[in-house]
Amino acid sequence: MQVLAEIGVLFPNQEALAVFEKHGVKADGQKVFLTEDQVMKAIAQAPAQFTIHARNSERDVRIGDGVPVLAPGYGAPFIVDLDVGKRPATMDDYHKLAKLAHALPNQDLSGHLMAEPADIPPKTVHLQMLHAHIVHSDKPFIGSTAGAAGAGHTMELASILFGRVGERPVTIGLINSLSPLGYSCEMLEALLVYAHHRQPVIVAALSMAGSTGPITLAGVLGQQNAELLAGITLTQLINPGTPVVYGSASTNLDMRTGGLVIGSPEFSMLTGAHADLCRYYGLPSRSGGALTDSHSPDVQAGYESMFSLMTTFNSGIDIVLHAAGILSSFLSFSYEKFVLDDEICGLVRHWLQGFPVDEETLAFPIIAQVGPGGNYLMEMHTLGRCRTEFWQPAVSSRDGIESWMAAGRPDATHRARQRWQKLVAEHQDPPLDPTITRQLQVLVDKQ
Amino acid sequence: MQVLAEIGVLFPNQEALAVFEKHGVKADGQKVFLTEDQVMKAIAQAPAQFTIHARNSERDVRIGDGVPVLAPGYGAPFIVDLDVGKRPATMDDYHKLAKLAHALPNQDLSGHLMAEPADIPPKTVHLQMLHAHIVHSDKPFIGSTAGAAGAGHTMELASILFGRVGERPVTIGLINSLSPLGYSCEMLEALLVYAHHRQPVIVAALSMAGSTGPITLAGVLGQQNAELLAGITLTQLINPGTPVVYGSASTNLDMRTGGLVIGSPEFSMLTGAHADLCRYYGLPSRSGGALTDSHSPDVQAGYESMFSLMTTFNSGIDIVLHAAGILSSFLSFSYEKFVLDDEICGLVRHWLQGFPVDEETLAFPIIAQVGPGGNYLMEMHTLGRCRTEFWQPAVSSRDGIESWMAAGRPDATHRARQRWQKLVAEHQDPPLDPTITRQLQVLVDKQ
């Protein structure tokens, strides 16, 4: 609050500044100074929970009710594949990734900007990506926040699918702050469009302890809290009640390489503290994911991704962007890791359910019948449950060590490749009204 | 309690049966029936906390005070190496592993039986392994429970190192039950020796839901609780106050392959429930580890190991056997995974510490000085802390993606190999009195 009142936050956008001015917020040029009273009154108007509607209502997702909603990785410029390593993403990749986002059972939102295609002009690439999600999946899609154009096109496409946009949330956009203590003009343009249409936004910081934030994690947390509260306040001044999620992807630099790290304990410490702040403010939270600094789906990618996913779930985060597919400290996306991460999302979700304890499962009569030194394998209690009692992986292997040797020592990455190729090959777009299909295509083609 | 009173537990050992009989416990042949009163009175005598002393007192470990104590993998018959895959372990391997157990910073106990050498006669292999731990490390060592001989030699070696054994815990032995509802004669022999010497034992079950236990997890938990309480009761009837840890490594079968699985959500669910029972009985707990069903240190090994390690820490387990090195559902041990797992143990431990929030770390004056749009990289607040503020990995890579491509796309496994080879090459046995060294050697040689 002291940062907001005394240091201020930069809003380089005339419309945003005009909104603040209209509500009596003190400003100095593009720098805005908010009082605790102004902030707390504004954020009190944002809902603690909301639903994002999908074109298939069975796919609707509820944000903020204690069950984490998962979405694929976001914003990687590169693909890492098993053959050549790092390469630029293409629109062909994007179609495949959108199909996988639809097929993978633990991704609740189909995502956006998973890996940005480099073979489409930057001015229209957001439209191509949005269109891919809308036709390949009936899950809720994340919208574009590529300035006024990206946000505007998101609203146009959504209005074709859902009719007038504004009645209820039908997408969600990611608004990043520009640390320290500012926003880019492009992001503010998008924020304005989303808020005018009463569509949800995640307002999120990616501060780096040691460069765009203080090196101490408490300092990062305090600074980003000021940034985020200022942005969230703006959404409520524009359109009170607009759903907004308080987000963090902040972390530390590795001081030896100068690079951002996301598989670090520091990222996960910030996630936990961030989630506490969200609960304090009564706002839904976004952080975490299956995060790694490795550049391939190797053992490091495995343990770092599971670590950050577990700390995310433990922290009680509401939206988990980057829940699957990300490598290289956000810089690359992997098909193989996409299916592997979706599997570990399922594993963790299953584990969280626990197991039932009742007379039937305590099985005293069976224990008495089998007796000391006996075996349960052929008991009806076993046979009747043997296909359903336990979680079954789709990619992880449980073959014996002799089979593994005989098969030439395959690893999980190669099974993951088989799985994503099969899922892409078997993909069928979910049914969509032909008129809507045509209208969507017309909008995309005219750009 | 109903299982104990009505179904009974097998104790195929005359001395054990005589102890039960002396204390008025009902028996039918080798089957012992305990009442709730007999059990609760016995376990109330076991300490809730105890210290295992090392020959270097700085290495002493406290069991049961809320901080998990970590120990390497235990009991693998095979080594998996990067060149040939699965092969039998040798005594040469064992010396290297014992040196690594000493070097790795997050292993608190030096371990035992990590990978059992196949090139030493079974009758004396326990002595060779014990000797390797004692000379290569001054951490506390786990003792042998290979029948009366293994346990007896453990006490002999310990008495050379520590003088008369019995005053205080100087080792700990792993006593496994034989599910369902029994113990082997060999394990009971060892239990008797440890209890007579008042040395700690872990009494643990490895029931398999679907074969040696009911297919339902609640049933496994109930059955193994009966087994374990019976074994723990025996320790207290022999020598009240003997430290004893209540342990579980129980899990499910994969019903497709018929194999045991340890990277499963079911293993971790049982760990959590088991830890709750330990707290109920006021006994220290053992479960978990860095567990995987994969046969190589691949991405699956990474995510499964981190998953089970996180659930173990979350459950509040006191002793974590298998905290590093295990592959293949307990069947193999890997040098590379040993150092990788030790690193993730350190990562999780660091994360659990959290970060300080105070005036210094909140850094308001620095935030004010840098201001909106500034950079912290060259601030004294940053420079003065840049070597110490963040956790630093020894194996995980944080190189950039271009460096990774230029280096030929190395993975973490290859860095792990470099690290263990370096640690073994640099190993020096910690100093030990020459008379003790000679006495130990005489005992080993005379067998």
pLDDT beneath 50, residues of chain B: none
Residues 122-161 in B contacting A (C-alpha not used; CB under 8 Å):
none
C-alpha separations of A380 from A367, A374, B189, B211, B213 in Å: 12, 14, 36, 12, 13
Q: Grade residue A447 by pLDDT with cuts at 50, 70 and 90.
A: confident
- The DSSP bridge pattern shows strands B61-63 and A31-33 to be unpaired
Q: Let me know: does B68 contact B317? Beta carbons within 8 Å.
A: yes
**Cis ω before B365 (30° cut-off from 0):** no
Measured CA to CA, the distance from residue A34 to residue A308 in angstroms comes to: 34
Residue contact B375–A212, C-beta within 8 A = yes
Helix axis angle, B434-445 relative to B147-162, nearest 10°?
A: 160
Task: Please list the residues that pair with B213 across neighbouring strands.
Answer: B209
Measured CA to CA, the distance from residue A421 to residue A124 in angstroms comes to: 28
**A16 in contact with chain B, both atoms CB, cutoff 8 A:** no
Q: How remote is the C-alpha of A102 from its chain's centroid?
A: 14
Instruction: Burial-class residue A76 by CB neighbours within 10 Å (0-12, 13-18, 19+).
Output: buried
Task: Please list the residues that pair with B260 across neighbouring strands.
Answer: B253
pLDDT digits (tens, 9 = 90+) for A334-378: 999 999 999 999 999 999 999 999 999 999 999 999 999 999 999
Among A266, A300, A310, A417, most B C-beta atoms within 10 A, so best to mutate, is: A300
Q: Let me know: does B25 contact B198? Beta carbons within 8 Å.
A: no
Q: Return the pLDDT at B167.
A: 87
Interface pTM, i.e. ipTM = 0.97
pLDDT digits (tens, 9 = 90+) for A170-198: 999 999 999 999 999 999 999 999 999 99
Among B252, B344, B398, most A C-beta atoms within 10 A, so best to mutate, is: B398
Measured CA to CA, the distance from residue B307 to residue B297 in angstroms comes to: 15
pLDDT digits (tens, 9 = 90+) for A247-289: 999 999 998 888 999 999 999 999 999 999 999 999 999 999 9
pLDDT(A164) > 90:
no
Q: What are the chain A neighbours of B85 within 8 Å (beta carbons)? A: 404-405, 409
Q: What are the chain A neighbours of B389 within 8 Å (beta carbons)? A: 209-210, 215-216, 252, 255
Angle at A82 between CA A78 and CA A87, to 5 degrees: 25
Q: Grade residue A217 by pLDDT with cuts at 50, 70 and 90.
A: very high
pLDDT(A167) > 90:
no
Q: Let me know: does A270 contact A217? Beta carbons within 8 Å.
A: yes
Helix axis angle, A147-162 relative to A434-445, nearest 10°?
A: 160
DSSP H or E run through A86: strand A85-88
Q: What are the chain A neighbours of B87 within 8 Å (beta carbons)? A: none
Measured CA to CA, the distance from residue A420 to residue A416 in angstroms comes to: 6
**B85 in contact with chain A, both atoms CB, cutoff 8 A:** yes
Residue contact B350–A413, C-beta within 8 A = no
Distance in Å, alpha carbon of B227 to nearest chain A alpha carbon: 10
Q: Grade residue A446 by pLDDT with cuts at 50, 70 and 90.
A: confident
Among A178, A215, A403, most B C-beta atoms within 10 A, so best to mutate, is: A215
DSSP B251-312: EEE-TTT--EESSSHHHHHHHHHHHHHHHHHT--EE---S--S-SSSSHHHHHHHHHHHHHH
Q: Grade residue A166 by pLDDT with cuts at 50, 70 and 90.
A: confident
Minimum CA–CA partner of B294 in chain A: A397
Measured CA to CA, the distance from residue A301 to residue B298 in angstroms comes to: 9
Lookup result for tokens 């006024």: A148
Task: Please list the residues that pair with B31 across neighbouring strands.
Answer: B10, B28
Q: Return the pLDDT at B446.
A: 87
Mean pLDDT estimate for chain A: 97
Instruction: Burial-class residue B408 by CB neighbours within 10 Å (0-12, 13-18, 19+).
Output: exposed
**A294 in contact with chain B, both atoms CB, cutoff 8 A:** yes
Measured CA to CA, the distance from residue A221 to residue A214 in angstroms comes to: 9
DSSP B309-373: HHHHHHHT-SEETT-SSEEGGGTEE-HHHHHHHHHHHHHHHHHHT----SHHHH-HHHHHHH-TT
C-alpha separations of A266 from A213, A284, B102, B437, B442 in Å: 13, 22, 28, 45, 51
Minimum CA–CA partner of A184 in chain B: B373
Residue contact B299–A304, C-beta within 8 A = no
- What is residue B174's three-state secondary structure? strand
Residue contact B409–A85, C-beta within 8 A = yes
Tokens of A185: 């003009």
**B408 in contact with chain A, both atoms CB, cutoff 8 A:** no
Q: How remote is the C-alpha of A26 from its chain's centroid?
A: 34
**B268 in contact with chain A, both atoms CB, cutoff 8 A:** yes
Residue contact B10–A217, C-beta within 8 A = no
**B218 in contact with chain A, both atoms CB, cutoff 8 A:** yes
Q: What are the chain A neighbours of B347 within 8 Å (beta carbons)? A: 265, 307
Which long-range contacts (C-beta less than 8 Å, at least 24 apart) are formed by B362-366?
A: B362/A216, B362/A218, B362/A219, B362/A222, B363/A214, B363/A216, B363/A218, B363/A219, B363/A222, B364/A2, B364/A3, B364/A222, B366/A214, B366/A219
Among A303, A339, A343, A348, most B C-beta atoms within 10 A, so best to mutate, is: A303
Residue contact A182–B373, C-beta within 8 A = yes
- Which region holds residue B75: left if phi is over 0, alpha if psi is between -120 and 50, else beta? left
pLDDT(A15) > 90:
yes
Residues 321-340 in A contacting B (C-alpha not used; CB under 8 Å):
328-329, 331-332, 337, 340
